[in-house]
Amino acid sequence: MSSLDRINRRLFFVFGLIVAVATTGFADERPNILFIFSDDHAINAISAYEGPLTEVAPTPNIDRLAKEGAVFLNSFCGNSICGPSRATILTGKHSHKNGFMRNTGKGFDQSQWTVAKAMQAGGYNTAVIGKWHLKTTPLGFDHWEVFPGQGSYYNPVFIQPDGSTKRFEGYATDLTTQKAVNWLEQRDSSKPFFLMCQHKAPHRTFAPALRHLGSFDDVVIPEPETLFDDYKYRSQTLAGNEMEIDRHFDWAYDAKVRKDERGDVKLPAPDRYGTPEYNRMTDKQKQVWDAHFGPKNQEFLDRFATGEMTHQELVRWKYRRYMRNYLSTVKAVDESVGTLLKYLDDHGLAENTLVIYSSDQGFYLGEHGWYDKRWMFEESFRMPFVARWPGVIQPESRPSQLIQNIDYAPTFLEVAGLNVPDEIQGQSLVSLMEGKEVDWRDSLYYAYYELGEHAVPQHFGVRTMQHKLIHFPVSNEWNLFDLEADPLEMRSVHDDASYASLLDSMKQEFFRLRAHYDAPPFPKQ
Residues that bind ligand SGN (CB under 6 A): 39-40, 81-82, 103, 133, 150, 203-205, 273, 372, 454
Q: Which does 507 bind (CB under 5 to 8 A by kind): ligand SGN, Ca ion, none?
A: none
Residues 6+ apart with CB under 8 A from 410: 92, 420, 424, 426, 427, 428, 429
What phi, psi does 171 have (nearest 5°)?
-110, 135
Q: Least CB distance from residue 240 to ligand SGN, whole Å?
A: 16
Pick the closer one to ligand SGN by CB: 207 or 416.
Answer: 207
Pick the closer one to ligand SGN by CB: 15 or 273.
Answer: 273
Pick the closer one to ligand SGN by CB: 133 or 324.
Answer: 133
Pick the closer one to ligand SGN by CB: 132 or 445.
Answer: 132
> What one-letter code names the amino acid at 414?
E
Pick the closer one to ligand SGN by CB: 120 or 205.
Answer: 205
- Give the CA angle between residues 57, 76, 424 to the nearest 5°: 140
- For strand 353-359 and strand 32-38, is the pairing parallel, antiparallel, or unpaired? parallel
What phi, psi does 429 have (nearest 5°)?
-90, 0
Q: Least CB distance from residue 172 to ligand SGN, whole Å?
A: 14
Residue 381: helix, strand or coil by DSSP? helix
Q: Least CB distance from residue 40 to Ca ion, whole Å?
A: 4
Based on the shown chain and the rule CB under 5 A, indicate whether residue 450 belongs to the binding site for Ca ion.
no
Burial of 290 (0-12, 13-18, 19+ CB in 10 A): middle
Residues 6+ apart with CB under 8 A from 491: 233, 234, 481
The stretch near Ca ion (CB under 5 A) out of 14-22, 42-50, 125-133, 357-365 is 357-365
What are the helix (H) ranges across 265-396?
A: 276-280, 283-305, 311-346, 378-381
Pick the closer one to ligand SGN by CB: 206 or 460.
Answer: 206
Cβ proximity of 99 and 93 under 8 Å: no
Based on the shown chain and the rule CB under 5 A, indicate whether residue 360 belongs to the binding site for Ca ion.
yes
Based on the shown chain and the rule CB under 5 A, indicate whether residue 379 belongs to the binding site for Ca ion.
no
Rounded CA-CA distance 136/120 in Å is 18
Q: Which does 204 bind (CB under 5 to 8 A by kind): ligand SGN, Ca ion, none?
A: ligand SGN
Residue positions counted in the chain: 525
Pick the closer one to ligand SGN by CB: 454 or 507.
Answer: 454
Residue with the CB atom nearest Ca ion in the bound state: 82
Kindly identify the residues of this chain, within the stretch 43-102, that bind Ca ion according to CB under 5 A.
82
Q: Least CB distance from residue 308 to ligand SGN, whole Å?
A: 32
- First-last CA distance in the chain: 87
Rounded CA-CA distance 78/93 in Å is 9
Pick the closer one to ligand SGN by CB: 205 or 443.
Answer: 205
Q: Which does 103 bind (CB under 5 to 8 A by kind): ligand SGN, Ca ion, none?
A: ligand SGN
Q: Least CB distance from residue 129 to ligand SGN, whole Å?
A: 17
What phi, psi does 154 have (nearest 5°)?
-105, 130
Residue with the CB atom nearest ligand SGN in the bound state: 82
Q: Least CB distance from residue 131 to Ca ion, whole Å?
A: 9
Residue 110: helix, strand or coil by DSSP? coil
Given candidates 32, 36, 40, 325, which one binds Ca ion under the rule CB under 5 A?
A: 40
Q: Which does 372 bind (CB under 5 to 8 A by kind): ligand SGN, Ca ion, none?
A: ligand SGN
Pick the closer one to ligand SGN by CB: 204 or 321.
Answer: 204
Rounded CA-CA distance 20/483 in Å is 59
- CA dist 99 → 80, 96, 111, 353, 524 (Å): 15, 5, 11, 32, 17
The stretch near Ca ion (CB under 5 A) out of 180-188, 360-368, 379-387, 466-474 is 360-368
Based on the shown chain and the rule CB under 5 A, indicate whether residue 39 belongs to the binding site for Ca ion.
yes
Q: Which does 205 bind (CB under 5 to 8 A by kind): ligand SGN, Ca ion, none?
A: ligand SGN
Based on the shown chain and the rule CB under 5 A, indicate whether residue 335 belongs to the binding site for Ca ion.
no
Q: Which does 176 bind (CB under 5 to 8 A by kind): Ca ion, ligand SGN, none?
A: none
- CA dist 287 → 210, 293, 331, 469, 497 (Å): 10, 10, 21, 50, 61
Rounded CA-CA distance 509/444 in Å is 10
Pick the closer one to ligand SGN by CB: 161 or 276.
Answer: 276
Binding site for Ca ion (CB under 5 A): 39-40, 82, 360
